[in-house]
Structure 1
């Protein structure tokens, strides 16, 4: 066995030595490439000689391309003394020719035999070919862009759904292991998401209620039906505008904050430190934010409903001369409790979507400040879009249910 292996190794060594000696003999027997510059006032003649092939060009390529040219307007490359020319050699000659032409001089090649002439012409044609960009019709281009955006958004949506599944799994696991739950973080986010958001939510809802009552009164007065302004405010605020406005404001306020906070932690490598310490970022960062928004968004929606109705009542008082007592009586007589339930039922769904998208985009930050800003903007846009889509779905659902 050892004799066979020794024989194989000897044969391999012999083959390698034979190949090395062949290459060495070939490189030494063939003349090395060289060039000689002959300068005249009106013309520069460069005589090329030797073997201009891949194995030999390393010694002449840089000196040839860097050769100094004087003010003579014409350059002649004499290739009659080249003993062997391949594609790489022809390409270097073509590069030099193009360099001369770029300087505003003329350059010609002389002395080439038929075979070398064909090779030089082929390389010249290939170097001068321009890739013609096919003009895509405008409609096709628009459809391509729309399809590309649709595919990208579909991938993002699938990733968000997968992340939502991970959040739900982690939340269920936390219920069975209460000691891992971050109570301090939950109360911190309850304050920042809910309590500090009450003033802006209340003010905007109050103003929206006023605008709604004023515009409704202006239009219904034309038909003598101004008394129905109260029902208009009631249905619009309780069913749609109260919770929808709250969700949009929270998406812009808290959803963007979630993305920016988690993105900044990734930029500062705090997430990697947490993983190294054995902490799960979803359990530590995502769950408290999701629960805080899940608890506070229905409460904020209720406050928005109250303030919207109050703003509508004051505007009805001013425009239709119906005092607050008359507004309350009319409101009580026409109230359908499902108008309130329809709005509040949407709140948990809005909360989960806003918190999930905000945290998901924050975890996608790559570590740069530009990435934080871009994904924060993306988080707000996607959250608002998702909220409106869900609201439209609920509107169709409740309409089909007759509620």
Structure 2
């Protein structure tokens, strides 16, 4: 085993230049012997390190030398000033310097009016860009689905049925469960409020209008936004991360036809079925409350519901269902296709998908309400 020489240094200052000449082995075992002395040197001129007489050098010695150069302010353009030849010194000191570079100071948040206006403008432009891209994706999806419907032999019926089962029928229990209890809550609130006016019997109309027109289809859309959107976005995003979509394109398959179109067709077909079941479950909850709390016989409840609530209220609710299903699946597929190569992007896309779908459902329901109000329905 070779004998280790203790590290030493000498500071030469001449011709407006300071040179730190190194000798011995600057390794972790002995570098502490010169650590304090190095901290005390105060060169008058820019400092350079002469490694011609340097023996062994490891990362501990390189760190001490890099720290000395930084303290002397002798690092120009991020490159330490090193002279002389050594097999590893120049490269090792440069590597240590790169990884130990000080972090830039954190940006100080600007809370002024100008910064507020700037953030508002950036948010508006992001919203505008997102809207344009979503509409472009909607157009591409409609063209693809229309072309496939004109050529039904190209439709992937197995994928369509599988999506209808996974995203539709499997969600049926939770949709019916939620709608049933929402119907009970609405009936209890109506009965409590109307009892002050001795008008408990009008709880039937309250349940009929609210469930047929609003709650059944809106609850269906909300459940789909939370359950199906996250599932679709995660599935497509995982395929994107694993480069399965790139491989699909290489094989001559179109992702819009293989991935997006089956999901769109399946959701447009199955969402009205889910909304219908949700409506029936909500009305059932109202019937239970009317029977137990208001002594309204179920037969009387159903007969009054049929005579007092027009059938067009049912079609108003059903007309929203395909639109809600289409919006949910469009947002889910688009966000899934936007996933990058990291897990963080997958989580962000899934969250964005659910939030956008919930917002879109509430906004569209408000637009539908205004539209039908103008039509007098």
Partner of 1:70, secondary structure, is helix
| 1:47 shift after superposition | 2.4
Q: Contact (CA 8 Å) 2:226, 2:354: kept in 1 or not?
A: yes
| 1:240 shift after superposition | 0.7
Alpha-carbon distance in structure 1 between the residues aligned to 2:301 and 2:106: 73
1:291-325 residue CA offsets vs partner (Å, 9 max, x unmatched): 00000001111111111001011111122111111
1:48 aligns with 2:20: no
Q: Contact (CA 8 Å) 2:327, 2:360: kept in 1 or not?
A: yes
Q: Tell me which residue corresponds to 2:189.
A: 215
Q: Tell me which residue corresponds to 2:125.
A: 151
Q: Contact (CA 8 Å) 2:213, 2:313: kept in 1 or not?
A: yes
Q: Contact (CA 8 Å) 2:212, 2:279: kept in 1 or not?
A: yes
Alpha-carbon distance in structure 2 between the residues aligned to 1:69 and 1:398: 83
1:184 aligns with 2:184: no
Q: Tell me which residue corresponds to 1:333.
A: 307
Match of 1:282 among 252, 256, 261: 256
Partner of 1:336, secondary structure, is coil
Alpha-carbon distance in structure 1 between the residues aligned to 2:200 and 2:325: 36
Q: Tell me which residue corresponds to 1:171.
A: 145
1:51-66 matches, cutoff 5 A: none
Q: Tell me which residue corresponds to 1:125.
A: none
Match of 1:77 among 44, 52, 63: 44
Alpha-carbon distance in structure 2 between the residues aligned to 1:135 and 1:241: 44
| 136-145 or 303-312: bigger deviation | 136-145
Alpha-carbon distance in structure 1 between the residues aligned to 2:152 and 2:39: 88
CA, structure 1 residues 287+225, in 2 after alignment: closer, same or farther (shift >3 Å)? same
| 239-248 or 143-152: bigger deviation | 143-152
| 206-215 or 372-381: bigger deviation | 372-381
Q: Contact (CA 8 Å) 2:12, 2:21: kept in 1 or not?
A: no
CA, structure 1 residues 265+77, in 2 after alignment: closer, same or farther (shift >3 Å)? same
1:313-392 matches, cutoff 5 A: 313-392=287-366
CA, structure 1 residues 156+63, in 2 after alignment: closer, same or farther (shift >3 Å)? farther
Q: Contact (CA 8 Å) 1:164, 1:356: kept in 2 or not?
A: yes
1:307 aligns with 2:276: no
Which structure is larger by alpha-carbon Rg, 1 or 2? 1
Alpha-carbon distance in structure 2 between the residues aligned to 1:322 and 1:246: 28
Alpha-carbon distance in structure 2 between the residues aligned to 1:251 and 1:298: 15
Partner of 1:77, secondary structure, is coil
| 1:97 shift after superposition | 9.1
Alpha-carbon distance in structure 1 between the residues aligned to 2:118 and 2:242: 38
CA, structure 1 residues 282+69, in 2 after alignment: closer, same or farther (shift >3 Å)? same
Q: Tell me which residue corresponds to 1:294.
A: 268
1:203 aligns with 2:177: yes
| 1:258 shift after superposition | 0.9
Equivalent residues, number: 310
Gaps of 5+ in 1: 1-37, 40-44, 53-59, 80-94, 102-129
1:254-269 matches, cutoff 5 A: 254-269=228-243
Alpha-carbon distance in structure 2 between the residues aligned to 1:72 and 1:199: 73
CA, structure 1 residues 358+133, in 2 after alignment: closer, same or farther (shift >3 Å)? closer
Gaps of 5+ in 2: 1-8, 27-33, 47-66, 74-103
Partner of 2:15, secondary structure, is strand
CA, structure 1 residues 397+96, in 2 after alignment: closer, same or farther (shift >3 Å)? same
Q: Contact (CA 8 Å) 2:13, 2:45: kept in 1 or not?
A: yes
Q: Contact (CA 8 Å) 1:46, 1:76: kept in 2 or not?
A: no
1:311-356 residue CA offsets vs partner (Å, 9 max, x unmatched): 0111111221111112112212211112111111111111111111
TM-score by length of structure 2 reads 0.74
1:124-168 residue CA offsets vs partner (Å, 9 max, x unmatched): xxxxxx999887445554444343223222212211111111111
Alpha-carbon distance in structure 2 between the residues aligned to 1:196 and 1:135: 47
